[in-house]
């Protein structure tokens, strides 16, 4: 869908960049470059909105994601390494996320029964309440996607899926 231009349209940095790109390279920016720019910008916009929505719950979006994995887990606890695998982030990031969630009282660190190398993250009752409340708030706000229709959202997720597969395979 192409949006109509209005007479009060302000300067569009992306249109300007495209014009100059063509001046230099004599061709349109590639679909890959345009899509990557769009995804980066969308992430930036969404992260800002999600963090604002989660502020009342003493959460950021990355911490919300970590907390939800625990909330939805069978035992309500999980080794930090396994949590990192689910989130697809490095061990250092897990340590940092769990530090923040533990400071907020949403979870606690626990010792593993058999393997003393392993640390478990265990969601607290407060953490469960916060996870449920935050999820309700995010769903009511449609996760910050604003004007996008469900059909467009499904299309985005479906189109991106092969990229995830590609990354997981590597």
User: Which positions lie near its own copies, rule CB under 8 A?
Assistant: 1, 3, 13, 17, 20-21, 23-25, 30-47, 50, 61, 68-69, 71-74, 85-86, 88, 135, 138-139, 142-148, 150, 152-167
Report what 129 binds from its own copies, DNA, none; CB cut-off 5-8 Å by kind: none
Q: How far is the CB of 161 from DNA (least distance, A)?
A: 20
Handedness of CA 97, 51, 68, 82 (dihedral sign): negative
Question: Which one of the spans 19-27, 73-81, 135-143, 150-158 is the region binding DNA (CB under 7 A)?
Answer: 73-81
Q: Which has the closest alpha carbon to 79: 106, 112, 108? A: 112
Q: Which residues of 52-64 are buried (b: 16+ CB within 10 A; e: fewer)?
A: ebbeebbbbbbbb
Decide: 111 and 105 in contact? Cβ < 8 Å: no
**What is the spatial distance between Cα 113 and Cα 17, in angstroms, rounded to a whole number?**
58
Considering only residues 113 to 132 of the shown chain, the ones binding DNA according to CB under 7 A are 115-120
Judged by the rule CB under 7 A, the positions of this chain that interact with DNA are 44, 48, 60-63, 79-82, 84, 87-98, 100, 109, 115-120
């Amino acid at each position: 869908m192409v949006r109509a231009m209005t007479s009060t349209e302000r300067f569009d940095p992306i249109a300007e960049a495209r014009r100059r790109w063509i001046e230099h390279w004599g061709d349109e920016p590639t679909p890959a470059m345009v899509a990557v720019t769009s995804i980066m910008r969308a992430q930036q916009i969404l992260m800002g909105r999600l963090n604002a929505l989660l502020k009342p719950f003493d959460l950021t979006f990355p911490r919300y994601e970590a907390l939800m994995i625990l909330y939805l887990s069978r035992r309500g606890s999980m080794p930090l390494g396994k949590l990192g695998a689910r989130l697809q982030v490095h061990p250092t990031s897990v340590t940092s996320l769990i530090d923040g969630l533990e400071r907020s009282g949403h979870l606690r660190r626990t010792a593993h029964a058999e393997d003393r190398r392993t640390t478990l993250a265990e969601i607290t009752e407060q953490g469960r309440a916060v996870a449920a409340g935050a999820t309700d708030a995010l769903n009511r706000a449609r996760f910050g996607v604003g004007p996008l229709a469900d059909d467009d959202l499904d299309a985005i997720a479906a189109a991106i899926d092969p990229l995830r597969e590609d990354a997981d395979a590597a």
